[in-house]
A and B are shown apart, each in its own frame.
Chain A
Amino acid sequence: MTGPTGGRRLLSTVGPPLTVVVFVLVAWQAADTIFDPPAYLLPGPIEIHRAFLNDAPRLLAATARTGLAAVVGLAAAFSLGVIGGSVLSASRFLRRGVYPLASLLQMVPLVALAPLLVIWFGYGQRATVASAVIVAVFPILAATIDGLQSTDPGLRELFRVYRAGPLARYWKLGLPSAAPAIVTGTRVAAGLAVIGAVVGEFVSGFGGEEAPLGIVILSALRESRTDLVFAAVGLSAAVGFLLFGAVSSLGWLALRRWHA
């Protein structure tokens, strides 16, 4: 007996979501053709596709800018989240003092905070990246603390018996034990980083040829170009999806011994 081939495995992974996507698009287009709602209200997938093709160079450049801001934001959030989570998990006092405050990052409405980011960081990528960091850091921080706190007590005892120092305990036991949780937190943060970047662009993005997806969405809304709004929103979702996939793949590579 051999396992399923690579092609079959891929089909079994990609097949179901692809089927659902195709079904939704066909049903959407059929409903659009039958009920014919005004284009400003709900365009059909064909119309959205046409809007994408008409503006493809501008949209792809905008996607690259938003994607870059989200990636940089996620990387910064990862560094801050893992380092911050490690420090907090090492001290009960700090954890109890700082963790509730850190959780506020998740509760403050980003749209209210975003204009302040422009005042602090100026217009452009820095404010956009800061916005992405703010929403992406908490899941990673929380997952790191959670992972480090969940280290197997037996193994912890074993390290103590062998008189391992705090650095060795952290590096050889704590961090590897927390790795699956950190990967999960980063996966959640990947999608949030894109949302944070787009919201940041709403207030700080440059217009014209340099416009990122957030500005494309605002412009298209004002011009009643709902087809272009959908195309831009679809692209930002695609960035989130790609980032999620990249984090998942990197996580799988890093943790494949766990999965073996």
Chain B
Amino acid sequence: MAGLEALARVGFAVPMRPSAAVTVLAAALALALAGCSDRGRSASAKEPASTKTRIRFQLDWVPQPEFGGLYAGLARGYFAAEGLDVQVLKGGASVAVPQLVANDKVEAGVMGADQLLAVRVKGGRLVAVYATYQVSPRALMVHDANPARSLEEVWRGQNPVAVEPGQSYVRWLTARYGTTPPTVPYQGALAIFEGSPLLAQQCFISAEPVDMELLGKKVRTFPVAASGFSPYLGVVAVSEAFQAEHPEAVRALVRALRKGWTDYLADPGAFNPAIAAQNPAMSLAAMNRAAELDRPFIETQFTRRAGLGAMEESRWAELARQLVEIKAIARAPDLKGVFVGE
């Protein structure tokens, strides 16, 4: 009753008897229980069961050209033709994609190869099936006013650098240059960077610098890959359990992704409007420019031989060695079965 008295004191009329209060409490409890139940979802269970294999595809960021092949594959019906029912789930900075996939909460997800290995070391059984970025497009971006003229100068400088906490490249650069600049959390947006002429910020070469360019602001970018650290990024992974249970679906997923990416790289402009509709924060012009810049990171001499998205065992072994060296992981993970191809 103390709560009711407090309400009355601040001006609410509470002409309730104890029995009425109990009724209200019971109703609230019933509402809460109804909200927690799966009843809403069970209604769809009455719909005819699809013969297609359902793949909830968790992105690690909002829809952008870095997922262009996926959207092209959906637009052209490649996944459906392979017997897959792909549902795309948008991501963000707070979505723990590797953990979601390893714990079978989604069937496939996009992540960095370094994240995949970190989860494998901790017992998460993830398998990489497609590596979108063969070369890491990760870079540090500075304003024209920033005196730094190289990655090393940014990292050895006194000006703050906005980075995503826990990114393994931060450990790598610290180990390589023997020091750390003041680092602050990367917000996933440009607002703070725009207003801070001396702040450096992590970026994908094909994303944030393009936005700045379209805003008419000059920036310089320094690719992290140039320092010798270039894990596969945009890696599509599934759990070992899913791969064992649906090996043909996994092969079909890779085939459809490869076809989608082939189409997307041939004509990104045909698919970008559909992606832009999913992400109003990025303009169509920025998406078209991003797709152009992304190409050399996705299509390499190796992929021309082995196919888009293909991976090499030596690259995984090198990454594992680097991650141990910089103490991002405590020990080298078991690399047997870390990736599969078509």
Contact = CB atoms under 8 A, between A and B. Distances in A.
Contacts of B121: 224
Q: Lowest 5 A-B CB distances belong to which pairs?
A: A222-B166, A38-B123, A207-B183, A40-B122, A219-B166
Interface residues of B, number: 36
A149 to B, nearest CB: 7
A224 B118 contact: yes
A61 interface: no
B192 A146 contact: no
B178 interface: no
B99 A224 contact: yes
Interface of A: 37-41, 99, 115, 118-119, 123, 146, 149-150, 202-211, 215, 218-226
B159 to A, nearest CB: 12
B305 interface: no
Contacts, number: 92
Contacts of B174: 208
A206 B184 contact: yes
A215 B187 CA distance: 13
13 contacts: A37-B123, A39-B122, A39-B123, A115-B192, A123-B160, A146-B6, A146-B9, A207-B165, A208-B180, A221-B96, A221-B166, A222-B165, A224-B121
B182 interface: yes
A204 B9 contact: no
Contacts of A37: 123
A149 B5 CA distance: 13
Given A40-B123, A207-B170, A224 B115 contact: yes
Most buried by B among A146, A223, A226: A223
Given A118-B192, A203-B187, A222-B115, A208 B182 contact: yes
A215 B122 contact: no
Contacts of A222: 115, 164-167
A191 B329 CA distance: 34
A38 to B, nearest CB: 3
B189 interface: yes
Contact of A38 (B6, B9, B124, B185): B124
Nearest to B166: A222
Contact of A224 (B119, B185, B195): B119
B185 A205 contact: yes
Given A119-B195, A208-B180, 14 more contacts: A38-B124, A40-B124, A115-B189, A115-B191, A146-B6, A150-B9, A206-B182, A207-B180, A207-B184, A209-B180, A224-B121, A225-B118, A225-B122, A226-B122
